[in-house]
Amino acid sequence: MGFSDNFVWGAATSAYQIEGGVKETGKGMHIWDVYTKESGKVYGGHTGENACDHYHRFREDVRIMKEIGLKAYRFSIDWTRVLPEGTGRVNEEGIRFYSDLIDALVENNIEPYITLYHWELPYELYKKGGWMNRDIAEWFGEYAGLVAERFSDRVTHFFTLNEPQCFVGLGFLTGVHAPGLKCPVRDTFEMAHNALRAHGRAVQMLRQHAKQPLTIGYAPTSGIIYPASDRPEDIEAARKKYFSMPEDDSNWTWNVAWWSDPVLLGKYPEEGLKKYEKYLPKITEEDMRLISEPIDVYGQNIYNGRAFRMGADGNPEGVGRVPGAGKTAVNWPVTPECLYWGPKFLYERYKKPIYITENGMACHDIVSLDQRVHDPNRIDFLARYLHELKRAAEEIDLRGYFQWSLMDNFEWEKGYAERFGIVYVDFETQERILKDSAYWYRDVIQTNGRDL
C-alpha cells in the first residue's frame, strides 16, 4: 500500500513571489507592488520587482521542473497582469505570458494547476474598498471567467483562493502583509464573508466559461492540532480543538471551520456564530448558496501543528514542545504528525478528495565550496512529513502533494531573507542550482514514495 498509482507529485509557486517583470507589458498595480515600496515593513526594503525573473526565464524553469520529474506545477495568475484595473480592459500581453507558460508545461507533460488568487489584489479595486465591497464577488467572477475562457482548453485544475486566513488576517488584522492595515475586527468578518462569496462566484464562472469539464478546489491553510497519543480521548480532544474557534478574537482568522464549513457544509459553524455575533455582517441564504457552490477537491496548505490531549476537566489541553524541539530557519516547529492527522481530520469532516497544496521548509541554504547546495535538513524534513502523508494516503482519498516551493523566492514581508525552494536562486545573477533536496524529491517521484 501507499500512494495511489495516479498520485500527483508537484511543486508550487505564486506570481508575485517569482515573476518579476512588474513594470512591463501593461501589468497593473496590486497591493503588494505598493506595499513593498511604501510601507517600510519588508525586510531589507526588498520588493518583488525582479524576484526570480520567471517572467523572462519561465522556459528554463519548466526545463528544471522536467529534470526534477514533476508531474504537476501549481502556479498563480497575477490578476493585474491580465486585468490591469481588476475588471474591464484585458491585457493581451499578460494573457500571452500565461498561455506560453501553459504550453511549455503541457509540452513537457507537466500538468498545470492554476490558483486564481495568491494575494495580488488589484490596487484599483482596493481603492474601491477591495474585500470590504460586496461587488468584489462580481469582480473576481469576471476575472475567473476570463481565465477559464482563455486557458481551460489546456488547463483542467483550478484553485480559487489561497490562504484567506493570511490575506485577511495578516493583511488587514495584524497588518504585517499588504496592505498593512489593522482594521476593526468587524471589518475583517465582512472581508472574510465577501472573500467566500467571491470564491463561490469564481466557481460558477469557471464552470460557465469552461471549454471542458474542470476540477475546481479551494486552498486554505491551518495550523494542525494533532493528538498527543493514540488514545481515543486524545484523538477526540485534538479533533475538537482543531475545528473550534480561537480564544483570541483579535487574531480570529487562524481557524479551519469558519473558512471551510461554509464552502463544504453550507453553513458557518454554530460556535463561531455565537462567539462572533457582535462582529458579523448580514448573512443571507442567497450568500450561503453562493459560498457553497459545489467544488470537486479540497486543498490545504500544511506546515506544522501542535499536540493536544484530553485534560482532566474533559477539555482539550495543549502539550508543550520538548526543550530543544526541531524548528526551521523561520522558527516554525517541525511536526511531521500534522501531515497524517490534518488530512485525516479534514477528510472525515468534509468528505472531499484532498490535495496538500503547500508543504515545505525554509533552510539556511548556501552555495558550498563544491558549488552545490546541500540541504540535509530539508531532505530530513520532507522524508519525515511524507512518511506521515503516506500513512494518510492509505486511509483517505488523497490526490496529490505540492512541495513549497519550486524555487527560492520573494518571501513576502521577509523579502529574500528566507529560502523555501528545492532550487537555489542567486538573486543577483538569477542562476538556478538544484539543491540536494531536488534530486532527493526526484527519486521520491520516480518511486511514487515507495521508500518513504
Among the options 163, 337, 411, 418, which is catalytic? 163
C-alpha cell at 280: 458579523
HSE-up of residue 42 (Cα within 13 Å, Cβ side): 21
Distance (Å, rounded) from C-alpha 431 to C-alpha 439?
17
442 exposed, middle or buried (CB, 10 Å; 0-12, 13-18, 19+)? middle
Task: Judge whether 393 and 399 are in contact, CB under 8 Å.
Answer: no
Strands, E, within 172-313: which ranges? 215-219, 224-227, 298-301, 305-310
Strands, E, within 106-223: which ranges? 111-117, 157-162, 215-219
Residue 49 among the catalytic residues: no
C-alpha cell at 451: 521508500
The DSSP code for 174 is S
- Alpha helices, H only, 243-375: 257-265, 270-275, 285-291, 338-350
Among the options 358, 388, 411, 418, which is catalytic? 358
CA 285 to chain centre: 28
Distance (Å, rounded) from C-alpha 345 to C-alpha 239?
7
Q: Closest Cα partner for 55 from 80, 20, 81, 26?
A: 20
HSE-up of residue 270 (Cα within 13 Å, Cβ side): 0
CA 65 to chain centre: 19
Kindly report the backbone phi and psi dihedral angles of residue 114, in degrees, each rounded to the nearest multiple of 5, phi listed first: -100, 130
C-alpha cell at 284: 443571507
Residue 358 among the catalytic residues: yes
Q: Is 437 helix (H, G, I), strand (E, B) or coil?
A: helix
Q: Closest Cα partner for 423 from 432, 413, 411, 410?
A: 432
**Strands 111-117 and 157-162, sheet pairing:** parallel
The DSSP code for 256 is S
Catalytically active residues, by annotation: 163, 358
